[in-house]
C-alpha cells in the first residue's frame, strides 16, 4: 500500500521562520510580520485576521519579491531528494500550509505531488483576501482527506511532519507523525521527534515503516 507524506511549511520545511516573514523581508517589513506570527501563535488572532493584516502589509508586493523570498529562504536541506525518494517508492508527498497559496504552490516544482495554502488574490493585489479561503489547523485534516481520496490511500497510510499548534489536529488524525524542530504545542503528540537541518534525517525516522 502506498503512503502519503504530508508536510507543513512554516517552521518545518522552512527553518525557524515562516513564508510571510520571508516575503515581508523583501519589503523591509520583517519585524511587523514576526509580531503577527507571535500573535497568531499565541492565539491572540486567528488565521483570517492574520491573513487580512499581512495582505495589508503587502500592498507593494510583486512576483519579483515572491520569487526572491522563495529562493532566499532558509530551507531544510535535501527536500527535493526526500520527495524524489518518496516518488521513487511509489508513495505521495504533499504540502499543506496556512501560508499564502502563491508561495506554497511553488513547491510542486520541487517534486511535491500537491501543495495547498491559504487562498490569496493574485500578486500584485488588486482585491482583498477572502476569509473563506484562509486555512486553519482543522482544514489541514480536511485537505488530507481530500488527498487520500485523490491518491487512493487512507489516513492509516499517512505520515505527517510539523512543528507547531497548527499541526496538532493533523497529528491527531494520522497514525505516524514527525515533530520537526517542534515547539511545546506538539509535546507528547508525535511518534517521532527530529531536531536539525536535514529533512532526509527526519524522513529516515519513518522511511522503513512501510
Q: Which pLDDT score, from 0 to 100, does residue 210 have?
A: 57
Provide the grid cell at 12. Answer: 518545518
- The model's pTM is 0.95
CA within 13 Å, CB half, 125: 20
Question: What is the structure's pLDDT at 186?
Answer: 82
pLDDT value at position 208? 78
Is domain 4-15+75-208 in CATH 3.40.50.1000, yes or no?
Answer: yes
Closest CA to 181 of 164, 159, 168, 166: 164
- What residues does each domain of the chain span? 4-15+75-208, 19-71
C-alpha cell at 180: 520537526
pLDDT tens, 23-56? Answer: 999 999 999 999 999 999 888 999 999 999 999 9
Q: What share of the chain in percent tops pLDDT 70?
A: 99
Question: Residue 9's closest CA among 100, 121, 129, 111?
Answer: 100
C-alpha triplet 56, 127, 114: angle, nearest 5°: 90
What's the average model confidence in pLDDT over 129-158?
A: 96
Amino acid at each position: 500500500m502506498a503512503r502519503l507524506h504530508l508536510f507543513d511549511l512554516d517552521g518545518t520545511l522552512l527553518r525557524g521562520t515562516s513564508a510571510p516573514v520571508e516575503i515581508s523581508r523583501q519589503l523591509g517589513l520583517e519585524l511587523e510580520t514576526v509580531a503577527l506570527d507571535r500573535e497568531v501563535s499565541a492565539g491572540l488572532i486567528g488565521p483570517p485576521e492574520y491573513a487580512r493584516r499581512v495582505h495589508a502589509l503587502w500592498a507593494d508586493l510583486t512576483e519579483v519579491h515572491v520569487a526572491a523570498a522563495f529562493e532566499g529562504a532558509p530551507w531544510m536541506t535535501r527536500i527535493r531528494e526526500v520527495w524524489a525518494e518518496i516518488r521513487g517508492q511509489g508513495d505521495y508527498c504533499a504540502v499543506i500550509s496556512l501560508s499564502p497559496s502563491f508561495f506554497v504552490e511553488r513547491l510542486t516544482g520541487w517534486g511535491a505531488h500537491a501543495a495547498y495554502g491559504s487562498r490569496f488574490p493574485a500578486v500584485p493585489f488588486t482585491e482583498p483576501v477572502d476569509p473563506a479561503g484562509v486555512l486553519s489547523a482543522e482544514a489541514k485534516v480536511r485537505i488530507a482527506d481530500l488527498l487520500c481520496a485523490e491518491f487512493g490511500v487512507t489516513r492509516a497510510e499517512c505520515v505527517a511532519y510539523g512543528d507547531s499548534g497548527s499541526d496538532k489536529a493533523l497529528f491527531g488524525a494520522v497514525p505516524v507523525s514527525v515533530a520537526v524542530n517542534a515547539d511545546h504545542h506538539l509535546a507528547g503528540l508525535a511518534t517521532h521527534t527530529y531536531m536539525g537541518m536535514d529533512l532526509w534525517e527526519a524522513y529516515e525516522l519513518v522511511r522503513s515503516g512501510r
